[in-house]
């Protein structure tokens, strides 16, 4: 197409982490340039397109648009480009490449940060160039930025020019070819289903959200959670109305077993997809806390309160921004403690690339991992949570703690890297920084070290849900078990198992059932008390080496010899039960 008559076209590259009209610094800056042509382009990432196609109904705002960037610069003749900054490791690579491409084409790149409370790179700088490893460090660094206050959210624009508005633009004089000509940025991804963004879809819907191509049929949705800016603002508004809930919110006091309604705000997916601004969330909460404080009512403090939860998110983003790709793996990662987990990721090759494979050093651990992943460990609390995760894409934070501890240091002794991969695929609120960071936390490889605090798959659930309602919901085969046996169904007498219509047998695979009509629930895959002792002992042993992911002994594999030599000399605590 030719753009000879267009004096100031602006291309706004808008990706999934900034998909809102309110508090969108990049959109705001784009409009301030007063473009004659305003071209929002949904960028796409193979990573997220992959997620969109494999999950149990992915989130509404997974957008895909083919943006052939170098061609676009040449053809659109744009001299100004806006970019929404993203510090995820793969996004750092992408942004570096795109910015270089733009500069080569003589295009001015304007970058705005909109994803976190504070710019992760600025947090690193204020934290003496280091990744933030504790909430105290985040708070101190934030005070140096703006006395601890993030930027105020920006109001949504009152109007947005239509992209390629033919009437307003008089495109007849533009002598442009049809926008369908090459490079066609959106050809395969056009639909009119998204009403929320109808004002920026363009008169011919050339810039619409590509629902059909994403492969999402909302009528078939397994998850009860819904996306979109309107929904995000509605939910936030509802939460904010309950001032006591907001002001007294303490994460450790919210139940991981609650569903319909859940005990937390459910706003995390909106933060991930950019349909809610984290700064609006923070300032709205802040206002409520101030009100309550003035009214002399109790107000929870950082880090357990809501603001604290958002600060943890910034902590992980900062740590990730600092380490790049190293953050998400053990090898070469200086912040993670090295532990001799089963099923560790294969080390990078000579070029530093990883192929995503892992070493199956133990068939037993591999089977435990598969059973955990599929929700058939034989521990109903764990299985209910894993099935809720698979069906709905969301579980409560403490539920995540429970299943993560069970897979790693408190049960299977499987590498946190395996668990993080499963969460990445299944969570609708997955953010690499938070997911990886929390797995490191729970497995006691970074951020946290008190490995002797171990979650029991029986006691912890019982504390929150003595009736076992979460289990009855997500493991319906156990629905008729009495509360005495619901967390340990294998202890129920056979007569009762028959009476309650479910036998505890096999490993949860269909082949393990004796007949098609049998209703069964698997036997526990190991003795938990025994495994807890073995894991605790192994953690103590691993900690005694003080190895980290970037240690030479980790790189060359010589840790194995040392661990084994020391292993043979230490007393075993294995105990028969």
Give the angle 520-423-194 at the CA atoms, nearest 5°: 105
The CB-of-459 to DNA minimum distance in angstroms stands at 3
* Contacts of residue 70, Cβ cutoff 8 Å, sequence gap at least 6: 101, 105
Stretch that binds DNA, among 190-198, 213-221, 238-246, 448-456 (CB under 7 A): 448-456
| Binding test (CB under 7 A) with DNA, winner from 454, 470, 475, 486 | 454
Q: How far is the CA of 143 from the CAs of 134, 136, 411, 531, in angstroms? A: 15, 11, 40, 44
123 binds DNA per the rule CB under 7 A: no
Q: What string marks each residue from 228 to 257 as x (binds DNA by CB under 7 A) or -?
A: -----------------------xx-----
Stretch that binds DNA, among 63-71, 85-93, 134-142, 501-509 (CB under 7 A): 134-142
Residues 332-371 that bind DNA (CB under 7 A): 337
Nearer to DNA, 89 or 398 (CB): 398
Structure tokens at 37: 């042509």
282, 150 Cβ separation under 8 angstroms: yes
Q: What string marks each residue from 284 to 323 as x (binds DNA by CB under 7 A) or -?
A: -------------------xx---xx--x-----------
Q: Is 416 exposed, middle or buried (0-12, 13-18, 19+ CB in 10 A)?
A: buried
Residues 140-199 that bind DNA (CB under 7 A): none
Contacts 24+ apart (CB under 8 A), 355-358: 358/415, 358/417, 358/418
* Contacts of residue 281, Cβ cutoff 8 Å, sequence gap at least 6: 236, 267, 271, 310
Stretch that binds DNA, among 92-100, 348-356, 443-451, 474-482 (CB under 7 A): 443-451
493 binds DNA per the rule CB under 7 A: no
- Please enumerate, by residue number, every residue annotated as part of a binding site: 264-268
Structure tokens at 547: 């190895």
164, 202 Cβ separation under 8 angstroms: yes
136 binds DNA per the rule CB under 7 A: yes
Residues 499-558 that bind DNA (CB under 7 A): 536, 540, 543, 546
Nearer to DNA, 441 or 559 (CB): 441
- Please enumerate, by residue number, every residue annotated as part of a binding site for FAD: 264-268
Structure tokens at 362: 């133990």
> Nearest-CA neighbor of 273 among 54, 14, 87?
14
Nearer to DNA, 295 or 449 (CB): 449
Nearer to DNA, 64 or 383 (CB): 383
* Contacts of residue 408, Cβ cutoff 8 Å, sequence gap at least 6: 341, 414, 415, 416, 419, 439, 442, 443, 444
485 binds DNA per the rule CB under 7 A: no
Instruction: Kindly state the number of chain residues that form the binding site for DNA, as judged by CB under 7 A.
Output: 33
Nearer to DNA, 10 or 405 (CB): 405
Where is 109: in which H helix or E strand? Answer: strand 108-113
564, 406 Cβ separation under 8 angstroms: no
What 3-state DSSP class applies to 525?
Answer: coil
Q: What string marks each residue from 390 to 419 as x (binds DNA by CB under 7 A) or -?
A: -------xx--x------------------
Q: Is the dihedral of CA 142, 144, 145, 151 positive or negative?
A: positive
The CB-of-315 to DNA minimum distance in angstroms stands at 9
Nearer to DNA, 228 or 308 (CB): 308
The CB-of-136 to DNA minimum distance in angstroms stands at 5
Nearer to DNA, 14 or 455 (CB): 455
- Report the distance separating Cα 239 and Cα 235, nearest Å: 6
- Report the distance separating Cα 82 and Cα 65, nearest Å: 17
The CB-of-26 to DNA minimum distance in angstroms stands at 29
Nearer to DNA, 218 or 449 (CB): 449
Nearer to DNA, 331 or 401 (CB): 401
The CB-of-115 to DNA minimum distance in angstroms stands at 18
| Binding test (CB under 7 A) with DNA, winner from 297, 452, 466, 562 | 452
What 3-state DSSP class applies to 404?
Answer: helix
Task: Give the footprint of DNA on this chain (CB under 7 A).
Answer: 133-137, 251-252, 303-304, 308-309, 312, 337, 397-398, 401, 441, 448-456, 459-460, 463, 536, 540, 543, 546
């Amino acid at each position: 197409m030719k753009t000879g008559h267009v004096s100031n076209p602006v291309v706004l590259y808008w990706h999934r982490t900034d998909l809102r009209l309110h508090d969108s610094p990049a959109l705001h800056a784009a409009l301030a340039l007063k473009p004659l042509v305003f071209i929002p382009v949904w960028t796409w990432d193979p990573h997220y397109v992959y997620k969109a196609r494999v999950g149990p109904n992915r989130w509404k705002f997974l957008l895909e648009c083919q943006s052939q960037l170098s061609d676009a610069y040449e053809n659109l003749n744009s001299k100004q480009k806006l970019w929404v900054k993203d510090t995820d490791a793969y996004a750092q690579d992408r942004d570096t490449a795109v910015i270089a491409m733009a500069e080569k084409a003589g295009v001015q790149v304007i970058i705005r940060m909109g994803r976190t409370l504070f710019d992760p790179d600025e947090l690193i700088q204020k934290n003496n160039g280091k990744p933030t490893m504790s909430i105290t460090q985040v708070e101190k660094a934030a005070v140096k930025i703006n006395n601890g206050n993030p930027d105020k959210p920006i109001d949504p624009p009152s109007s947005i020019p239509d992209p390629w508005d033919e009437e307003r633009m008089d495109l007849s004089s533009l002598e442009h070819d049809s926008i369908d000509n090459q490079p066609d940025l959106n050809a395969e991804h056009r639909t009119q289903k998204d009403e929320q963004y109808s004002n920026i879809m363009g008169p011919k819907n050339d810039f619409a959200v590509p629902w059909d191509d994403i492969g999402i049929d909302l009528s078939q949705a397994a998850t009860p959670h819904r996306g979109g800016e309107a929904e995000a603002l509605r939910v936030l508004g509802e939460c904010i109305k309950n001032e006591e809930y907001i002001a007294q919110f303490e994460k450790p006091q919210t139940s991981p077993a609650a569903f319909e309604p859940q005990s937390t705000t459910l706003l995390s997916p909106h933060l991930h997809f950019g349909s809610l601004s984290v700064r609006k969330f923070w300032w709205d909460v802040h206002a409520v806390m101030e009100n309550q404080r003035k009214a002399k009512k109790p107000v929870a403090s950082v880090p357990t309160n809501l603001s604290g939860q958002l600060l943890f998110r910034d902590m992980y983003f900062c740590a990730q921004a600092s380490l790049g790709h190293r953050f998400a793996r053990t090898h070469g990662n200086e912040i993670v403690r090295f532990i001799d987990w089963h099923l560790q990721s294969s080390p990078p090759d000579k070029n530093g690339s990883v192929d995503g494979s892992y070493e199956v050093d133990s068939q037993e651990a591999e089977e435990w991992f598969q059973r955990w992943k599929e929700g058939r460990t034989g521990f109903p609390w764990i299985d209910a949570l894993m099935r809720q995760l698979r069906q709905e894409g969301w579980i409560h934070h403490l539920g995540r703690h429970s299943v993560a501890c069970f897979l790693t240091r408190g049960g299977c002794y499987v590498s946190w890297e395996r668990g993080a991969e499963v969460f990445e695929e299944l969570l609708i609120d997955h953010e690499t920084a938070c997911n990886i960071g929390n797995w490191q936390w729970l497995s006691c490889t970074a951020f946290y070290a008190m490995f002797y605090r171990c979650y029991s798959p029986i006691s912890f659930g019982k504390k929150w849900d003595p009736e076992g309602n979460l289990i009855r919901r997500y493991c319906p085969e156990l629905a008729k078990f009495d509360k005495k046996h619901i967390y340990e169904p294998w202890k129920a007498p056979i007569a009762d198992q028959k009476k309650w219509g479910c036998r505890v047998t096999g490993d949860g695979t269909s082949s393990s059932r004796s007949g098609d009509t049998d209703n069964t629930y698997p036997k526990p895959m190991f003795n938990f008390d025994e495994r807890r002792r073995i894991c605790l002992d192994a953690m103590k042993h691993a900690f005694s080496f003080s190895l980290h992911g970037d240690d030479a002994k980790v790189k060359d594999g010589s840790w194995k010899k040392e661990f084994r030599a020391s292993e043979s000399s230490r007393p075993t605590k294995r105990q028969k039960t």
